[in-house]
Amino acid sequence: MNVIETIELTKRYGKRVVVDQLSLTVGKGEVFGFLGPNGAGKTTTIAMLLGLVKPTKGRALVLGHDVQHEPSLALRRVGAMIEAPAFYPYLSGADNLRVLARAGGIATERVAQVLDIVELRDRARDKVATYSQGMKQRLAIAAALLPDPELIMLDEPTNGLDPAGTVEIRNLIRNLAAGGRTILLCSHLLHEVEQLCQRVAIMKEGKLIAAGDVAHLLRRGQGVRARVQGDPGPAVRLLKALNWVASVTVQGDTILIDAPVERTAEINKLLIKADIVVTEIGASNSSLEEFFLTVTRSDT
Amino acid sequence: MDTRAMFTNLLAAEWMKISRRPMALLLLGIFLALTALQQTLWFLVVALQEGTFSSSNVTFTILSEAAIEQVKRQLSLPGVFGAMLSAINGTGGILAIILTAGFFGSDFNWGTLRVLLTRAPHRGIYLLAKLAALQLALLVAMVITIVVGTLLSLMFGSILGLSQQIDAIAFLLLPVGMLRALLVMLPYTLIAAASAIVGRSVIAGVGGGLIFLAFDVSAGSLNTIGAVDPLIRALVNLLLQPNINRLIVDNSQMFGLNQSVLTPALDLNLLPSSWQAIGLIVIYSAIFGYSAYRTLSRQDIGGAN
């Protein structure tokens, strides 16, 4: 069963298309990375999935229900944290959660449970105005956990956190995922996404430009990298002429060759034969970060 | 979850928010201080005119006999009820606009509306529950004001030797007066709520509410030209202010006060009937309330601003 399904979901503000015919699915129990540069349309998509922003066209289904037509059913077991944590500064952490619990018809006993999960019990009676950014972030996750959610949407959950706080939140997400919940994770920390997510979707300027298993996408990004002395132009021209080389790009002083890693020695030999001095050559083990940068840069 | 359960849950949440809000307590404190000051001034006027503090019968003539009699009534039971309800609909109305704007606008300013609507996505019910919590808070503030005003009038009245007469009917009429006072404030609180929603901020709510109040009070001064012609009077009486004045006058009269004694410019004969006043205030409130609902139900909810 798909926990999230969007069908040609589109949001326009005037002539500006913020989300353009987005169709994607997230299955039950998945930890799904939702990536893209700033302004790609990720937050707007999440807001549409939560019924906060009305789509111009298309549909958003959450837990099998249309968010626009059956919002209560769709969002009953959904927890979300969008961008910066938002709370009533004059209320304590626990009271903020009580307000949300009451609004959603959730038993207030659940407040103590979620405060335990995010380890905020000791400061629960203090006003939110006195909380650090990390504590607010944890309280926002506690708020997302209130309805004992099947689906959790986390938009930049480690924003503004120090390294220790980031690790803490990452472990928390890992624990939540281990409990069989579906998690939609938006983050600029791609190393974090690579560690946590099984599948990712990458958006750019409102469009879905890549989606699939993390392992599969990374395999796609594998190839050969080489450095040559002087102008890389002749080397690029030589490599581009080979029919088993899919593409050649230059990043700084490095030539990235989309070709089977087994042919590294052959590439080296060809370059030397053409009087090109190779200073370094080897397999490029693409990280999600590299893959992300490649697809978001190349597709403009 | 059925609609009633959703409303009850949201009302409980909104009540928790407004009852613990420092701004609400601050505004109530300011209003009680102003009310106490007003009663102290009335007391001083009567005391100086009647030589209460003078051993040699030195008196000052500040007001006419009829006006002093009126002030004395305002300092005695049950007249103090009418005086307090008038104050609530006067200065209290301005503070109610500020409270409403803060209550509705800060959910936009802090970004908390987004979190709340994720838990309770029916915006119409959310709006209704929030308005109900606000009216409840205003009712509680009214009760506190009337209690404080009554205690002060008992104290001042005993110094001035005024007779305090209270019967069961006055107590039974008090809830009627309070509901009428609440109705008088309703269009102002609704326009402040609608402005806060349209402008997505506290400042927009305060601005919209106070600008409307200023416009309405200014337009109410057209009342004087209503004396010239019945048609003009009928048109002027379609404005909110003359209808508001009618209900405030009704509240005062219910507790034995005559507003025109202290406010000679107020010609009671030019005011619309009580039924027209109730009807028009309900219509104005419905228009403002619907505007708030329509805007909220159609707008995209963003983060903190």
Q: Name the minimum distance, in Å, from the CA of A189 to any CA of chain B.
A: 21
pLDDT in tens, B234-268: 888 898 988 999 999 999 999 988 877 777 667 77
Q: How far apart are CA A110 and CA A88, in angstroms?
A: 19
- Note the pLDDT of residue B226: 67
Amino acid at B43: F
Is pLDDT of B63 > 80?
Answer: no
The minimal CB distance from A99 to the residues B13, B301, B302 is found for B13
| A242 near B CB under 8 A | no
A75/B5 CB distance under 8 A? no
Q: Name the minimum distance, in Å, from the CA of B117 to any CA of chain A.
A: 7
- Note the pLDDT of residue A220: 66
Cβ–Cβ under 8 Å, residues B226 and B232: yes
Task: Give mean pLDDT, residues A44-54.
Answer: 94
Tokens of B90: 């006067």
Is pLDDT of A188 > 60?
Answer: yes
Q: Which residue has the tokens 């709006």?
A: B127
The pTM is what?
A: 0.86
Using only C-alpha atoms, chain A has a radius of gyration, in whole angstroms, of 23
B117/A51 CB distance under 8 A? yes
Which string of b and e fits A100-130 if b means at least 16 CB within 10 Å? bbbbbbbeeebbeebbeebebeebbeebbee
In a domain, B112, yes or no: yes
| Cα-based distances in Å from A295 to A197, A257, A260, A288, A289 | 18, 15, 19, 10, 10
The minimal CB distance from A88 to the residues B6, B110, B303 is found for B110
Length of chain A equals 300
Residue that wins the pLDDT comparison between A190 and B221 = A190
pLDDT in tens, B175-188: 999 999 999 999 99
- Note the pLDDT of residue B1: 67
Label residue A299 by pLDDT band (50, 70, 90): very low
Q: How far apart are CA B203 and CA B222, in angstroms?
A: 29
In a domain, B305, yes or no: no
**Total structural domains in chain B?**
1
In a domain, B199, yes or no: yes
- Note the pLDDT of residue A300: 42
| Cα-based distances in Å from B280 to A22, A81, A201, A285, B273 | 49, 44, 56, 75, 11
Cβ–Cβ under 8 Å, residues A164 and A187: no
A86/B110 CB distance under 8 A? yes
Angle A132-A85-A166 (CA atoms, 0-180°, nearest 5)? 60
| A82 near B CB under 8 A | yes
In a domain, B303, yes or no: no
Q: Name the minimum distance, in Å, from the CA of A89 to any CA of chain B.
A: 9
Residue that wins the pLDDT comparison between A170 and B210 = B210
B17/A80 CB distance under 8 A? no
Task: Give mean pLDDT, residues A255-284.
Answer: 89
Q: Name the minimum distance, in Å, from the CA of B199 to any CA of chain A.
A: 17
pLDDT in tens, A212-221: 888 777 766 6
The minimal CB distance from B121 to the residues A71, A91, A99 is found for A71
Backbone phi, then psi, for A181, in 5-degree steps?
Answer: -80, 155
Strand runs labelled E in A244-294? 247-251, 254-258, 278-284
Cβ–Cβ under 8 Å, residues A238 and A256: no
| A83 near B CB under 8 A | yes
B16/A99 CB distance under 8 A? yes
Is pLDDT of B273 > 80?
Answer: yes
DSSP H or E segment with residue A6: strand A2-13
Task: Give mean pLDDT, residues A252-265.
Answer: 85
| B16 near A CB under 8 A | yes
The minimal CB distance from A52 to the residues B16, B22, B117 is found for B117
The ipTM estimated for the assembled molecules is 0.87
Q: What is the 3-state secondary structure (H, E, C) of B76-132?
A: CCCHHHHHHHHHHHCHHHHHHHHHHHHHHHHHHHCCHHHHHHHHCCCHHHHHHHHHH
- Note the pLDDT of residue A221: 64
Name which of B9, B19, B133 is nearest A91 in CA terms.
B19
Amino acid at A179: G
Label residue B230 by pLDDT band (50, 70, 90): confident
Cβ–Cβ under 8 Å, residues B241 and B220: yes
Residue ranges of B 244-303 with Cβ closer than 8 A to chain A: 298, 300-303
A87/B110 CB distance under 8 A? yes
Cβ–Cβ under 8 Å, residues B184 and B123: no
Label residue A272 by pLDDT band (50, 70, 90): very high
- Note the pLDDT of residue B151: 94
In a domain, B304, yes or no: no
A102/B114 CB distance under 8 A? no
Task: Give mean pLDDT, residues B73-81.
Answer: 91
Q: How far apart are CA B120 and CA A100, in angstroms?
A: 9
pLDDT in tens, A242-257: 988 888 888 778 888 8
In a domain, B136, yes or no: yes
- Note the pLDDT of residue B243: 93
With contacts defined as CB-CB under 8 Å, which chain B residues touch A54? 298, 300
| B120 near A CB under 8 A | yes
Peptide bond into B242 cis (omega under 30): no
**Which residues contact residue A198 at a Cβ distance below 8 angstroms, ignoring those fewer than 6 apart?**
A30, A31, A32, A213, A214
| A51 near B CB under 8 A | yes
Query: Which residue segment(s) compose the domain that B112 sits in?
Result: 3-298
The secondary structure of residue A79, as a DSSP letter, is E
| A41 near B CB under 8 A | no
